[in-house]
Amino acid sequence: MSASQMVLAPKSLRDTLKALHLSAESLEHFSLDSMPATVRDLACEHLRTCERCCHALRAIEPASFVHIIEGGPIHFRVTRLRCDRWYARYWGAPVDCGRTFRTLAGAEKYLTQSLRQVWRGHKCLPQCGLRLALDGPPEWPHVCDRYSD
Ligand SMILES: [Zn+2]
Ligand SMILES: [Zn+2]
């Protein structure tokens, strides 16, 4: 059935959208957290059950982890952009900083240095350093509260 032949009842629209794989553009927006909340919810629902999209997402996120600082998580993430640059971001109350880099190494260095400079006295807790598991069931919402090691 071609797209033009599809007639969607409103109640099935959500299910249909949920079943669609995320495009490279959508994955990038998801990783950068730049989707409208309603679209993001649908993407989350899809990612919960779609291994293919989870793998595609992780492929563009070579780094995604947290440090527990002053009682709360600060998230650190590198996203590979479609333009072949790397976006490094760290966020969590009260910060949200990010920059684009030409290389992954540059992006990772930025995150490491930011951690050292912004939170000088930080000593890692056992919960620091989460990376999303590369296999096993995905943990969504995107930043999960379970820790490896
Ligand atoms: Zn999918
Ligand atoms: Zn830490």
Average pLDDT, the chain: 80
Structure tokens belonging to residue 84? 């072949």
Q: Which ligand has the shortest distance to the CA of 48? A: 1
The string of pLDDT tens digits covering residues 110-130 is 999 999 999 988 888 877 876
Measured in Å, residue 42 CA sits from the centre of ligand 2 at 32
Tell me the mean pLDDT in the region 82-93: 93
pLDDT tier at 131, thresholds 50, 70, 90:
low
Please count the other Cβ atoms lying within 10 Å of the Cβ belonging to residue 83.
Answer: 9
The secondary structure of 107-145 as a DSSP string is HHHHHHHHHHHHTTT----TTTT----SSSS--SSSS-S
Please indicate whether residue 36 or residue 126 has the higher confidence score (pLDDT): 36
3-state secondary structure of 16: helix
pLDDT of 15: 80
Gap between the Cα atoms of 91 and 96, Å rounded: 4
Measured in Å, residue 131 CA sits from the centre of ligand 2 at 12
Measured in Å, residue 43 CA sits from the centre of ligand 1 at 9
Gap between the Cα atoms of 125 and 102, Å rounded: 31
Measured in Å, residue 57 CA sits from the centre of ligand 1 at 10
pLDDT tier at 22, thresholds 50, 70, 90:
very high
Please indicate whether residue 102 or residue 10 has the higher confidence score (pLDDT): 102
Q: Which ligand has the shortest distance to the CA of 68? A: 2
pLDDT tier at 137, thresholds 50, 70, 90:
very low
pLDDT of 80: 96
Q: Which ligand has the shortest distance to the CA of 22? A: 1
Please indicate whether residue 101 or residue 72 has the higher confidence score (pLDDT): 101
Measured in Å, residue 139 CA sits from the centre of ligand 2 at 21
Place of tokens 């943990």: 139
Please indicate whether residue 66 or residue 56 has the higher confidence score (pLDDT): 56
Measured in Å, residue 65 CA sits from the centre of ligand 2 at 10
pLDDT tier at 96, thresholds 50, 70, 90:
very high
Nearest to 61 by CA among 50, 83, 76: 76
Tell me the mean pLDDT in the region 16-38: 90
pLDDT of 70: 81
